[in-house]
Structure formats: C-alpha cells, structure tokens
C-alpha cells in the first residue's frame, strides 16, 4: 500500500476512497427538503454520493447536518513547498551562557502593549519572573535586564524610553484583528524607528495571537511570535541575533 504523493486523496477506510465527513448548518427548518438541500450543497462541494447521517433541528428555522461523502479531488502533495523558519531554540541556561560568553554584557529588553491595546497576558507570560508553562520569564534571566512598560504605551514614548534604557530589543504585543488600526499601530513603531535612525540599532519583535513569521516580515519586524510561544523562544532569538550582529 503506497501513497501516490502526486495525487493525495482524503482517507476513510481504504486508500484513495476519498471519504470525508463534513458538518454545517442551513438557515432552513428541518425536514425532507432541508435534507435534500444539504445533499445538494455537498454535491456542489465536490463530494460524490453524499449521505446525510445526522440532521438536528436547531430551532428558529435552523438545521444542523453531518454528512459523509467521497471527495473527488486530489492534491499534488509532492509539489507543495512551504517556506519554513529554522530558529535555533535554546533553554534558559544555554541562552544565559551564550550571552555571557559571546556578548559579555547584559542584554536589555523593553516590552509593552502599544497603542490602544490593553491585552497584557501575552507580554506578561514572556516577561514576568514566574514565566509560563514551566519556562521562566525574561525577568528571571540573569543575563537579561527586562523592563515591562505595561499597556497602552504610545509608540513615540516607547521608543524614547527604549533609547533611555539602552534597549537591545523592543518587544511589542498586540491583538491584531482584521481591523487595520492594530496593524497600523504595529507598523507605526517600525516607521518611527526608521525615521529616528534607530531601525538598525535595535531588534524589533512583535507577538500576539494572530502574529506569524510572514506577518512579522510584512510589518517590518525582525521576528514575530504567535500562539504557543514560550519565553525561551523569544530569548533564544534575541541572543542568537545579537551575537550574529555583533560579529565583525
């Protein structure tokens, strides 16, 4: 039984049977007509011989369905190429010893929730001494001097404070939604840093539930951290990048 990676189909009981389960709600009352409507939707989705196995009246004229069918489509798995980031992740001890041996000074990290954002949970998990999920926060790192400026810090103030504290890295947390305001607040920090001639002197790092590497690049940040990030991931990046930049 070998999988043809050029034509991967969904799997149920036997290879290439294309079986799949879907569930959805229609805004119509339960009944034979609703069942047929659900079947037709599945057909249009490319499912062969769809069978409605569950129909539940949700009340107020809505009905929930579960269907099984055979998906007629396949994908060429072999041709899929996804750019992947390869970050070296070190533990607490490794980060501290790298900073100590390669930089020979403490690393200053300034963190804040900028603009109108007051969601400090993310930044607190990374910075606070007690840390998160068994990983110490940056405040606990002997070789890192971490400052948490709190929430709703305007970008200009954050930059000014970062300069006064001699920051090596600025960490901003932002709950980005589809509304542009959050994105614009993140890009404004990058633009201000650029205008002030600071862009190449400090690492800019953003984090939040919707942040990915790709989005971080688009926003102009040196790194972006999304859900599941632990303090040592951020610390590893800062240490490795500062050491890299420190090399002649």
Partner 1 sequence: MTSELFKLITATGLSSIAIVGMTKNVGKTVTFNYLVEAFEREAVNLGLISAGYDGERFDRLTLKDKPRIYAPKGALVATAKACFDAAEANLELLQRSTFSTPLGTVLLARVKQPGLVELAGPGSVFALGKLVDQMFDFGAGHVLVDGAINRLASASPLLADGIILASGASLGPTMDDVIRKTVYRCALFTIPAVEGDLATAARAGLEEGEAALLHRADCNFKIEPIKAKIPLLAGAQLVSRYRRETEALVFGGALVDRYLREVIELRPVPPTLIVKDATRLFISPELYYRFINQGGKIEALKSINLAAVTLNPTDPFGRGYDPQMFLVRMKEALSPCPVFDLVYEA
Question: Catalytic residue positions?
Answer: 130
Which residues make Cβ contacts (< 8 Å) with residue 178, sequence separation at least 6? none
Which residues make Cβ contacts (< 8 Å) with residue 35, sequence separation at least 6? 52, 55, 65
- What's the DSSP call for residue 100? I
State the nearest-atom distance from the C-beta of 163 to partner 1, in Å.
Answer: 5
State the nearest-atom distance from the C-beta of 31 to partner 1, in Å.
Answer: 32
Q: For residues 100 and 95, give the distance between their C-alpha atoms in angstroms, rounded to a whole number.
A: 9
State the nearest-atom distance from the C-beta of 68 to partner 1, in Å.
Answer: 26
23 vs 27, 39, 63, 74, 122, CA distance in Å?
14, 11, 11, 20, 33
Q: What is the largest CA-CA distance in the chain?
A: 75
Helix, strand, coil proportions of the chain in percent (round to 5)? 35, 25, 40
Q: For residues 189 and 160, give the distance between their C-alpha atoms in angstroms, rounded to a whole number.
A: 11
Q: Do residues 152 and 117 touch, judged by C-beta distance below 8 A?
A: yes
- Residues of this chain that bind partner 1 (CB under 8 A): 81-86, 156, 159-160, 163-164, 176, 178, 180, 183-184, 187-188, 190-192, 194-200, 204, 210, 212-224, 241, 244
Which residues make Cβ contacts (< 8 Å) with residue 1, sequence separation at least 6? 15
């Amino acid at each position: 039984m070998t999988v043809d990676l050029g034509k991967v189909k969904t799997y149920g009981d036997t290879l290439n049977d294309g079986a799949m389960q879907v569930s959805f709600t229609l805004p119509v009352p339960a009944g034979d007509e609703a069942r047929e409507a659900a079947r037709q939707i599945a057909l249009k989705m490319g499912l062969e011989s769809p069978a409605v196995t569950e129909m539940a009246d949700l009340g107020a004229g809505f009905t929930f369905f579960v269907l099984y069918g055979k998906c007629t489509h396949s994908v060429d798995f072999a041709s899929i190429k996804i750019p992947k980031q390869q970050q070296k992740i070190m533990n607490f001890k490794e980060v501290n010893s790298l900073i100590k041996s390669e930089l020979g000074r403490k690393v200053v990290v300034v963190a804040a929730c900028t603009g109108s954002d007051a969601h400090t949970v993310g930044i607190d998990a990374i910075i606070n001494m007690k840390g998160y999920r068994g990983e110490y926060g940056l405040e606990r790192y002997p070789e890192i001097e971490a400052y948490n400026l709190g929430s709703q810090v305007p970008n200009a103030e954050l930059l000014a404070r970062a300069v006064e504290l001699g920051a090596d890295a600025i960490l901003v947390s932002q709950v980005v939604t589809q509304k542009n305001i959050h994105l614009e607040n993140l890009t404004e920090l990058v633009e201000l840093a650029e205008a002030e001639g600071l862009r190449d002197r400090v690492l800019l790092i953003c984090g939040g539930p919707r942040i990915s590497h790709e989005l971080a690049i688009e926003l102009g940040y040196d790194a972006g951290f999304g859900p599941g990030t632990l303090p040592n991931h951020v610390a590893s990046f800062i240490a490795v990048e500062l050491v890299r930049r420190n090399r002649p």
